[in-house]
Amino acid sequence: MKHSLDILPLQSWIDTGDKPLIIAGPCSAETEEQVVSTAHLLANTGKVNVLRAGIWKPRTRPGEFEGIGSVGLQWLKRAKEETGLLTATEVATAKHVEEALAAGIDTLWVGARSTANPFTVQEIADALKGVNVPVFVKNPVNPDLSLWIGALERINGAGIKKLGAIHRGFSSFEKTAFRNEPMWDIAIQLKTIAPELPIINDPSHICGNRELIPYITQKAMDMDMQGLIIESHIDPSVAWTDAKQQVTPAALADLLDNLSIRHAAS
Ligand code: PEP
Ligand code: MN
């Protein structure tokens, strides 16, 4: 499969030394206190580069918490000011892009449901024209490599060269141990087609529960993925979204300490 991606190496836009890029934070921003205190605990581990928090949440069915909205951007901003962590959030519309950039969010990601929709991705890409911000594109919910590459090409076509992919697994009607099947071969194909593209792993959304996360994380490192995005909450049991898969900052530090990393991310 041909592709046309013009990408800068990850280390030229986020210096992680010889370690993998670690993005961590709650699935959703819930309260200012929750975002800021989680950020402090994550920063204190000394192992996290970027604080993540969902501000606008793409819920599969209506009637559930759909994100705190724009006010949460200010909480991320405060967390950054107090901890020095870079910040990241999901954008799904042009308005999200504009608001996130106006609030000084450092890194954006396109969620799995958005990646599956070329109109949405193009809208996001158009809003990113002339902007120099790192963007990660999650794999689409369905196991379609072309759709994933197409979304990366649309964002790259807007001039975003600080571009990466997030492997978060693929939904399936079959119930397995995983919330989203990893289907590693799709990530391997992407790596083969676009070796210059940084790929990071999202064990939280693959696993759907805390217990499996160490196994998936280690496998991602064994495949030389360049980083991880992991959901972390001060008190996962009371999280408003994705409670089963979030880990405390202390558990995250422990997980990262126990990873065996073959060689430096490049
Ligand atoms: C998330 O990162 O919280 C999220 C909604 O992820 P995904 O798009 O992978 O479902
Ligand atoms: Mn989540």
Assembly ipTM: 0.98
Domain 21-59+85-257 fold: TIM Barrel (3.20.20)
Give residue 265's pLDDT: 47
Parse the chain into domains and list their residue ranges: 21-59+85-257
Q: Which residues line ligand 1 (CB under 6 A)?
A: 27, 54, 58, 111-113, 138, 168, 205
**Ligand 1 nearest atom to the CA of residue 58, by list position:** 5
What are the pLDDT digits (tens) for 99-156? 999 999 999 999 999 999 999 999 999 999 999 999 999 999 999 999 999 999 999 9
Q: How many residues does the chain have?
A: 266
The amino acid occupying position 68 is I
Model-level pTM? 0.97
What are the pLDDT digits (tens) for 65-110? 999 999 999 999 999 999 999 999 999 999 999 999 999 999 999 9
Residue with tokens 């990393």: 261
% of the chain surpassing 70 pLDDT: 98
**Ligand 1 nearest atom to the CA of residue 169, by list position:** 9
Mutation pick for ligand 1 pocket among 68, 117, 124, 138 (CB with most ligand atoms within 8 Å): 138
Rounded distance from Cα 257 to ligand 2 centre (Å): 23
Residue 77 CB-density burial (10 A; 0-12 exposed, 13-18 middle, 19+ buried): middle
